[in-house]
């Protein structure tokens, strides 16, 4: 394993784009996709270990914490966490810090991937997709400067109790919402959604994608579907789909990426 390792969880590509930008700034890194049944790599020789993940419903995907619990990091390793959100960071960094004490953390807002709650343009500050990505690249450069300077933040990532309460309710809401998935006859059984799903929750049956209930709501399947065959309700059907402008489905399907 290289000297920089970044674990990332990403549905619509914002976090992969951020992880790639940080990796490039650091002069290279091994990016490892967080997903169900992922092979936990030996990273004991890494000098820097980072996590880049989205805020979901005031928290973060449980998969991120499961991965953090499974890895072994040698004492003295520089650890960092970056969360991406559309408006507020939630409790993800604080929860991760309890599992792996972080030396440095930061937040980058970007376009919103939760199509059933908001249009993707609902981000703070309001920016076009291109502007948001340019801002994300700038903020990633600042993060890189700090990491290269071995900056260590004092205290711990702030924990907002309202976000924690929101997150408790969100898990139930997300599970309920997963029941609303429908696959139309436009589906050509290309299998892209099955390959993208970080939970292995999608199968191709009788020439059509079938979505199960083990869903984190990353919406990668829906947002990238080339036939717009996946729906999660009438409101989201009307909304423009979104994925990060610099990330292609094939990028997200790789278990690891060497930069």
Ligand X SMILES: Cc1cc2nc3c(=O)[nH]c(=O)nc-3n(C[C@H](O)[C@H](O)[C@H](O)COP(=O)(O)O)c2cc1C
Q: Which residues bind ligand X (CB under 6 A)?
A: 10-15, 54-58, 84-88, 90, 110-114, 174, 217-219, 244
CB atoms within 10 A of CB 55: 24
- Closer to ligand X at the Cβ: 86 or 140? 86
Least Å distance between CB 14 and ligand X?
3
- Closer to ligand X at the Cβ: 113 or 201? 113
Least Å distance between CB 172 and ligand X?
13
Is the four-CA dihedral 222, 226, 229, 235 of positive or negative sign?
positive
Task: Kindly give, in sequence order, each residue whose CB lies less than 8 Å from that of residue 190, ignoring residues fewer than 6 positions away.
Answer: 226, 227
- Closer to ligand X at the Cβ: 25 or 54? 54
- Closer to ligand X at the Cβ: 4 or 14? 14
Per-residue 3-state assignment (H helix, E strand, C coil) for 9-39: CCCCCHHHHHHHHHHHHCCCCEEEECCCCCC
Burial of 169 (0-12, 13-18, 19+ CB in 10 A): exposed
Least Å distance between CB 123 and ligand X?
7
Closest CA to 180 of 104, 238, 231: 231
Least Å distance between CB 88 and ligand X?
5
Is the four-CA dihedral 185, 188, 189, 190 of positive or negative sign?
negative
- Closer to ligand X at the Cβ: 77 or 171? 171
Alpha helices in the chain (DSSP H): 14-25, 62-70, 92-99, 129-148, 161-178, 192-196, 220-224, 234-238, 249-252
Least Å distance between CB 219 and ligand X?
5
Assign 118 to helix, strand or coil. Answer: coil
Least Å distance between CB 182 and ligand X?
17
- Closer to ligand X at the Cβ: 160 or 184? 160
């Amino acid at each position: 394993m290289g000297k920089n390792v970044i674990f990332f969880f990403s549905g619509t590509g914002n976090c992969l784009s951020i992880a790639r930008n940080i990796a490039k700034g650091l002069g290279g890194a091994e990016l490892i996709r967080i997903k169900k049944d992922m092979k936990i790599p030996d990273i004991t020789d890494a000098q820097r270990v980072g996590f880049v993940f989205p805020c979901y419903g005031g928290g973060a995907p449980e998969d991120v914490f499961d991965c953090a619990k499974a890895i072994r990091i040698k004492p003295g390793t520089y650890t960092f966490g970056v969360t991406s959100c559309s408006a507020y960071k939630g409790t993800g960094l604080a929860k991760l810090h309890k599992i792996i004490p972080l030396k440095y953390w930061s937040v980058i807002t970007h376009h919103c991937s939760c199509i059933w709650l908001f249009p993707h343009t609902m981000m703070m500050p309001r920016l076009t997709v291109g502007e948001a990505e340019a801002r994300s690249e700038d903020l990633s450069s600042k993060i890189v400067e700090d990491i290269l300077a071995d900056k260590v933040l004092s205290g711990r990532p702030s924990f907002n109790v309202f976000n924690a309460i929101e997150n408790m309710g969100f898990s139930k809401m997300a599970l309920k919402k997963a029941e609303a998935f429908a696959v139309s006859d436009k589906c050509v059984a290309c299998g892209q959604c099955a390959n993208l799903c970080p939970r292995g929750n999608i199968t191709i049956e009788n020439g059509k994608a079938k979505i199960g209930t083990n869903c984190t709501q990353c919406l990668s399947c829906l947002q990238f579907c080339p036939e717009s065959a996946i729906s999660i309700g009438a409101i989201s059907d009307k909304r423009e789909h979104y994925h990060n402008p610099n990330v292609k489905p094939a990028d997200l399907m790789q278990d690891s990426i060497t930069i």
